[in-house]
Structure 1
Amino acid sequence: MADANQPHLNGAYYGPSIPPPQKSYHHGRSRGSIGGGGCGSCLLKLLIALLIILGLTVLIFWLVVRPQKVKFHVTSASLTRFEHATSDNILRYNLALNVTVRNPNKRLGVYYDRIEARAYYEDKRFSTVTLIPFYQGHKNTTILRPLFGGQQLVMFNSKELREFNAENISGIYSIEVDFRLRIRFKLGKAKTRRFKPKVKCDLKVPLSSSNGTMNSSPGVFPATKCDFDF
């Protein structure tokens, strides 16, 4: 009787159709991120390999060439005048140096494109001379003879003036001579770019007479090694 009243129910009822599952892009993005990570890993490995190659190249170059610093020594100094007048604050001076420059390298030559020598007293520059450029071969020694002579306005404060007077009594003066360089190195036919090292020489120079003999104050100039700084 129930079937007669509901003719549309003539068989099994399965309900509405189930829609197809929506496409998910989650796994696609994961694969993309994994791929990006792999690319970054390759770049990192390439960078490490390049650094290793560069390090090995530098090591091999150092083992073959064995580069060493150029050595500066002030072997003698003659100071025949070093006077400062408080009336006009003029420093009058006459200083001559012998400086040996040694290139200890077996395979590197050195071009000295510019050599400027500067003389200081109490951190005040009182003279500058420019020397003649030259080329220095392997394991070679060259002698430089900078000559500082003349007069310069130099203002001393009270402390510096006391120190000058004390050294004037002792007859030995603390003079600093610096060399400002522009150099290039030569290996075979190849030449490097220019470097600008500084050479600093802290000197204790005794005052001598104009004929080279010592004044009444004792003192002999000690040969002095200079600091070479890149």
Structure 2
Amino acid sequence: MADHQLNGAHYGPSIPPTRPQRRRHNAGCGFCSCILGCFRSCCGCMFNCILSLICRIIATIIILVAIFGFLFWLIVRPNALKFTVMEASLTQFNFTNNNTLHYDLSVNLTIRNPNRRVSVYYNDIETLSFYKDFRFGSQTLGKFFQPHKNTSLLNPVFKGQQVIPLSSSQISEFNKETNNGVYGINLKVLLNVRFALGLIKTGNLKQNHHCDLKVPFKSHNGTSSLGNGFQATRCEWDSKWWLLFR
């Protein structure tokens, strides 16, 4: 009986299985948890933290600039300067045999500042006259100050002679314009200005405006080739010259 007890199967108490240990993860991605993670995973986490911080700074700057720009526009409501040629006339415009153009062109140009709070300092104004894309005259006008809601009048005069190598087709167009008594002339206005809002002033800014004119020839007795005379022409703003800092 003793042998039977020794050879029989023995069933002891069951041993519970061991539970695998779980790693605890901190919820969120706060700054402190990010720093602690950096020490655990070394360089990788530190790079992510620095990149995240830089992105937050850039996003904050963009938001602040957008808010400031919107508030500035809401308060100031800036408008572009308006250029208009009110009058233009030619008393001489003829070619000699050696392709020399003799010209006498006078222009009345108005500059309108429509802004309610922004004034303008004109540091440099240059007017250029073109015929068939050839420049034949230029004049630099004096500097002046223009307050808000103001219109200023400029009177550039172009007189002299200039060699212009016209092609045969351009000569034919010139002869046609001479018969009609009206010439297509392009006027460009180059500006170097500063804008002022109270005590705040911008740096020097460049603008370029161009005016496509149909200028009648006026005889010495004052009669114009056009029955109604010159038609006032609004100048266009060349945006690619806008906000170019010197």
TM-score category (smaller protein): 0.7 to 0.9
State the shift of 1:88 in Å. Answer: 1.7
* Aligned: 1:50 with 2:68: no
- Unmatched tracts of structure 1, length 5 or more: 1-26
Instruction: Identify the match of residue 207 of structure 1 among 213, 217, 221.
Output: 217
- Decide whether aligned partners of structure 1 residues 111 and 28 sit closer, same or farther in structure 2, where only a CA change above 3 A counts: closer
TM-score (normalizing by structure 2): 0.78
Query: In 1, distance between residues paired with 2:192 and 2:224?
Result: 36
SS of the aligned residue for 2:231 comes to: coil
Instruction: Identify the match of residue 76 of structure 1 among 87, 99, 116.
Output: 87
Query: In 1, distance between residues paired with 2:101 and 2:228?
Result: 22
1:78–1:212 Cα contact (<8 Å) kept: no
Which structure has the higher relative contact order (CA within 8 Å, separation 6+)?
Answer: 1
Query: In 1, distance between residues paired with 2:106 and 2:41?
Result: 78
Q: Report the count of equivalent residues.
A: 202
Query: In 2, distance between residues paired with 1:178 and 1:212?
Result: 26
Q: Which residue of 2 aligns with 1:10?
A: none
1:178-200 deviation digits (Å, cap 9, x = unpaired): 01110000111121001110010
SS of the aligned residue for 2:209 comes to: strand
1:206–1:219 Cα contact (<8 Å) kept: no
- Unmatched tracts of structure 2, length 5 or more: 1-37
Instruction: Identify the match of residue 102 of structure 1 among 112, 117, 129.
Output: 112
Instruction: Identify the match of residue 176 of structure 1 among 186, 204, 214.
Output: 186
SS of the aligned residue for 1:69 comes to: coil
- Give me the CA root mean square deviation: 1.6
1:21-52 deviation digits (Å, cap 9, x = unpaired): xxxxxx96635422331232122112111110
TM-score (normalizing by structure 1): 0.83
Q: Which residue of 1 aligns with 2:201?
A: 191
- Decide whether aligned partners of structure 1 residues 219 and 153 sit closer, same or farther in structure 2, where only a CA change above 3 A counts: farther
219-228 or 46-55, larger mean C-alpha shift? 219-228
Query: Percentage identity across aligned positions?
Result: 41
Instruction: Identify the match of residue 73 of structure 2 among 46, 62, 67.
Output: 62
